[in-house]
Each structure stands twice: as structure tokens, then as C-alpha cells.
Amino acid sequence: MSKKSFTRVIASGNHLLTQVKDNQPNLRRRLELGSMGRKPSGSATSKCKGRNRWETRELTVFPSKAWFRGTPWEALIKTVLRLERSVWKRDPKTGMLRGTNETVFWVSSLSGPTPEQWNDHIRRHWRIENGSHYIRDVVFAEDASRIRKTLTSPPACGLSPTTCSGPLAATTSKTPAGAPPSTSITSSLCLR
């Protein structure tokens, strides 16, 4: 998503939450290194259990202060989130467990929500992302994109393929008490 798009969303009284994808290697590396030495403003752990699947999610929230100092993003990105997921899946045929660990980063123009509220926003985002996964990743090969950006560029959001494939799918859902209502839009989450 471009700086212009971030600015427009903020000017409209909304905020964005977007995942830093693997086609942003410099930005991702900056966030990985920065999160090691910074004190978080909060964290939350959640666990969920489904059919033959157990997931633990640890979300750590950081103010973005120094990460974007001296870049065009300094005034736009206020929060950096690090989400560490551990997933165990049982193979129903063999009974064997297989574990995976993943760390993802998110950036947002909003500051203030609790780690639990951020976790809820991200979970709602994935409901939308999973619904458009086939079109975005298979038809448009978004995950295979070789587009590279610099540290001063925004996180990759892949909005163009979605706008080509049809109208943006948006959903508004209930939010926890005290949290701003939110609207999910494809791979970015627009927070009101």
C-alpha cells in the first residue's frame, strides 16, 4: 500500500493494520532486529484448539518510534506488532503430531488498543484473507511476487489484484468493549 493510501485512510478518520510480507525483506529484517532490543508496551497469549489442531499465539506490541525515524512513514506508522504462532497438527491416520512455528510482523497507523484487541483485529483479518486466498495467491501469484521495496517503502498489501478481481469485500463485526469498531478489507485491516 502506498504512502498516499495510508494518508488518505488516516485523513478519513480511519487507521490501517497491515502485515509485512516476505517480499519486504529489508523491512522485515529491520523489524526482526528492532524487536529484539526494544521494550514492548504489552503482550498477550491466546490458545485455541480445533479438530486435530492446537495453536498458541503470542502477540507483542511495540511503539514504532525509532523504527521509521527519518523516513516518510514516521508520521504514519505508530505501532509494530510481532505475532509468534506455534501450531501442532495431529495426522488422523498415524496419530503423529507435526509442529510449526512462525513469526509475522504487522504495522499500524493506530496506537492505543490493548494486545488482546490487536489479537482480535488480526484474527478478523485472517477470516477475510482466507476467503480470498485462492484468487490472490493462486490466480494472481501474490506470494510469488518478486517486487522488492526499500526500507522507506510501505509494507506490501497487494491491493491491485483484489481490485482487478472485483469489488473489495468488507465486513464489519462486533468489537470488544472499549475498542474502535473495525472494517476488514482484504489483506489490510481498516480500523475506524
* pLDDT tens column, 49-65: 988 999 999 999 999 88
> What per-residue confidence (pLDDT) applies to 37?
82
Q: Is the pLDDT of residue 152 over 60?
A: no
Q: Is the pLDDT of residue 105 over 70?
A: yes
> What per-residue confidence (pLDDT) applies to 32?
92
Q: Is the pLDDT of residue 183 over 50?
A: no
Q: Give the mean pLDDT of 75-96.
A: 93
Q: Give the mean pLDDT of 17-24.
A: 86
**pLDDT (tens digit, 9 = 90+) per residue, 167-176?**
333 333 344 4
- pLDDT above 70 coverage of the chain, percent: 68
> What per-residue confidence (pLDDT) applies to 163?
41
Q: Is the pLDDT of residue 87 over 50?
A: yes
What pTM did the predictor assign? 0.66
Query: Which of 5-9, 106-110, 134-138 shows the highest mean pLDDT?
Result: 106-110
Q: Give the mean pLDDT of 94-101.
A: 94
Q: Give the mean pLDDT of 29-41.
A: 89
> What per-residue confidence (pLDDT) applies to 159?
44
Given a contact cutoff of 8 angstroms between Cβ atoms, the answer to whether 106 and 81 are in contact is yes
Task: Give the lowest-confidence range in 18-27, 82-91, 168-177.
Answer: 168-177
